Structure 1
């Protein structure tokens, strides 16, 4: 972890794609004066499960995995966060401990925002409150979908859905086919509710069918139509 020189919130494109996009000029200045900017290296822990929040984290640039430790001692990925996302806000709203941990997947730049300032935005700016409610509702809906998917769907559908989710959230690299997200096999497995071995086997099968190509942690979608069909999203 390293404290770095903060960017100007008035010129921050990441803020414009976040819950803070509707702040008025005075609120932006408050944010500018109060925040701190920190860089977490790949693999560093941002916060730990069962610890208390000290500030709100805003992802200025980078990628973060939100995880819980299972009863078997294995890490379970709950969801992924990227540029423009806030993390740990649920514990702040509940005035409780973190129910999960956050770890930088790559070198990630965060802004820490005082909790009191976050609450003042919620009290005084209805647009911010509405965006937080929408965000919380979306995460709850996504969690419900994931539970149903793990219970009812074959693993191959879950893997395909995870790949499409990565596409939807992070897009492609310049070639317009390689996912803009480097992911380990165990991370994809955890995201899909399966084992590393099963995830690896399914990726190889999808590669043989020329639906995807795999090189290390990079995954290229070759046949988007077939991947959608494999995900079986209409059921």
Structure 2
């Protein structure tokens, strides 16, 4: 069973952690920049279903590329992914907190820059679709994020991934795109608190925002716990630094 490792405050000053944080910031920035930018373009063109498809494709492509480019940090791009890996014992609590701060700052910076570059165009926030209640929205986000983390574990983390080795970033991008097509008109298909936070902050509109924290974090944490403890053999677990700090 994967155990949660606390880590220590010294971890933040280690060169490998600093490099990982820089890479995580850069990759999350470009992920949000492309993702939110595509949504802004779709809104401006008022392109309906075609716009939703374009947004899904943009997210799928940028997720695949940024996960690959972010191999130094792991290319999480997402607090829910970080939480899933934390629950699975793949990252320490200290580094997880640093990643979460990093991801939120990167998302905010990307959205502020998009607002400036677009001449003040509003950044569309994630909100529930017509007729969708809060409980339904949370359930949507739990299910979508569970599928995302399950894919991350099955195609990137699992040492027994076999013939799909190396295809993990692409497959993860594809599941993100598919989920946006499936649920974009219902819950907004965030799957990512950082992706929702930047636009909400810049627009100063936090309508339904809590849903995009509760749903993804539950779904991500649950997927990480289940996959790590039921599908990955304990002997294949890669020990974390300072594993004696774990509990």
Q: TM-score, normalised by structure 1?
A: 0.28
* Greater percentage in helix: 2
Say which structure, 1 or 2, has more relative contact order (CA 8 Å, 6+ apart).
Answer: 2
* Greater percentage in strand: 1
Q: TM-score, normalised by structure 2?
A: 0.27
Larger radius of gyration: 1
